Amino acid sequence: MINIVAIKERFATLAPYLDERARRLFAATEARAAGRGGGGVVSEAAGVARTTIGRGLAERECPADTPRSL
């Protein structure tokens, strides 16, 4: 069972510090960790579109395609 309250709490804690890319990656990571149906639950919990989560998942698969300076 996916704990939507825990996802909401984690997102609320980190959201002020996340830029758009980090928000996508966070949502994608939460969705992947949640397993089947995770994308919809994370979308609802974090208020992030499912297409945004999909882009985050794609970025996780090919991090070299999305360079970012530290």
Which two three-digit tokens encode residue 29?
A: 């990571």
Q: Which residue has the tokens 């297409």?
A: 51
Q: What angle do CA 56, 19, 50 make, to 5 degrees?
A: 35
pTM: 0.82
- Cα end-to-end span (Å), the chain: 36
Q: Are 12 and 20 in contact (CB under 8 A)?
A: no
pLDDT at 64: 63
More confident position, 56 or 69? 56
Closest CA to 53 of 63, 67, 62, 42: 42
Domain ranges (residues) in the chain: 4-63
Mean pLDDT of 26-33: 95
